[in-house]
Amino acid sequence: MKHSQLISLLLVAGFSGSLFADMGAMHQPGKVKDVCADISQPASLNCAPAPSASFDQKGRLWLAWSHAGHVYVNHSDDKGKSYSSPVIVNRKPEAISARGENRPKIIPADGKIFVSWITPLEKRFSGHVRFSVSTDDGEHFSDPIIVNDNLDITGHRFEAMSVNKKGEVFIAWLDKRDRLQAEQQSKKYHGAALYYSWSQDGGKTFQPNLKIIDHSCECCRVVMDIDHNQLPVILWRNIYGKNTRDHSLVTFAEKDTPEQVQRVSFDQWQVDACPHHGPDMDISNNQDIHLTWFDNAPDRHGLFYARRKPDGSLTEAISIGDYQAAASHPNVISVADNVWLVWKQFDGKQASVWLQRSETNGTHWSAAKKIAVTDADADYPFLVRDKDKVYLQWQTKKEGFQLIELTDQ
């Protein structure tokens, strides 16, 4: 099956997870009983379908993941060799979105552990943005709150979260409240909208929701980072014209003042569906913004990388990965002038993670090389940073949670 056919299948099915990984399961007849499918078993990180990880200032690795209606948090002090006992975040069980583009998020900062996730509602494609915080270094968590102030049974999903050095919490998400209102008035509304809120008191309360833009793509991950002004920068897949789905970025003048939205990809992918394939970015110390994304337009398709300079200009996007090997879900991170890019590929039998590295702030790149492989179901690859060291986070059904140092690769 060609990559373009796989993408078409994904769009028609409305698939929200890792297509290539799940296809791998089709080639494993007669498997033994899946222990991870038994929700009566104790919660285990290795069974978590979509974990998130982040290092704190002391080098402790924190993880958020879900099992049987609960979000769990645990940590590792030895770079993934051993883990603490998991702590439940939401004491009352609820549905948890934990697959592909939509998973719990975790950020540790100054002894506090901030966690966000989406709880699906009874209507398809609906949900609420949930948030909880620990003020005692992960021992206990606050009762979860709903961040979206619109409580209609509609989409408030695919959240991104960041925390600045002041302890202010920022959350952005894709929101369908305006689409629901338009439909109630028999009007057309493409996609969703990008909404945003922030907390000035460490997550105890959040400000009234602010709409940044109408007509975003409705089910691709949103990503966020913090700039040198301690304000958020948000990147997402947007809808231009009737159904051109390229990427946009917004910076802020103040916490409640988004600046003009900037289009950062120009691939002209026209598709009347959501590809469940969001972008990624990382802000360097010198305020360059490293950008990476996937598009499947006829003339420009595959994975791309570009850099937004501090003056707002963009470098020419370069192609990365092997399109014929279904290169997907790129992730980027930087330390000074060093930039790491990883992505996932699938050759019909095995899923693999590939790496390219630049030591010149994204100007020149090493050749791509394979750094991890599995013949079982696999999550998307993610990069995490502990000061000047960079690690690959990859969850596979066969190998479990893996943390692989990339600094010298």
Percent of the chain with pLDDT over 90: 88
The three-state secondary structure class of 99 is: strand
Q: Which residue has the higher pLDDT, 169 or 41?
A: 169
Averaged pLDDT, 13-29: 34
**Contact yes or no for 57/407 (Cβ under 8 A):** no
Averaged pLDDT, 48-54: 96
d(CA 63, CA 53): 4
Is residue 39's pLDDT more than 80? no
pLDDT at residue 40, as a whole number: 80
pLDDT at residue 352, as a whole number: 98
Q: Which residue has the higher pLDDT, 13 or 154?
A: 154
Averaged pLDDT, 229-240: 98
pLDDT at residue 33, as a whole number: 52
d(CA 360, CA 119): 41
Averaged pLDDT, 373-380: 96
d(CA 224, CA 169): 11
pLDDT digits (tens, 9 = 90+) for 170-182: 999 999 999 999 9
Percent of the chain with pLDDT over 70: 91
Averaged pLDDT, 342-357: 97
Is residue 225's pLDDT more than 50? yes
Averaged pLDDT, 119-134: 97
d(CA 360, CA 362): 6
Averaged pLDDT, 195-221: 97
What residue type is 101 in one-letter code?
A: E
d(CA 175, CA 209): 10
Is residue 12's pLDDT more than 80? no
Least confident of 22-26, 28-32, 159-163, 256-260: 22-26
Mean pLDDT of the chain: 92
What tokens appear for 229 in the block? 């002004």
Q: Which residue has the higher pLDDT, 29 or 211?
A: 211
CA 153 vs. chain centroid, Å, equals 23
pLDDT at residue 28, as a whole number: 37
pLDDT at residue 292, as a whole number: 98
Task: Phi first, then psi: give them for residue 131, nearest 5 degrees.
Answer: -150, 145
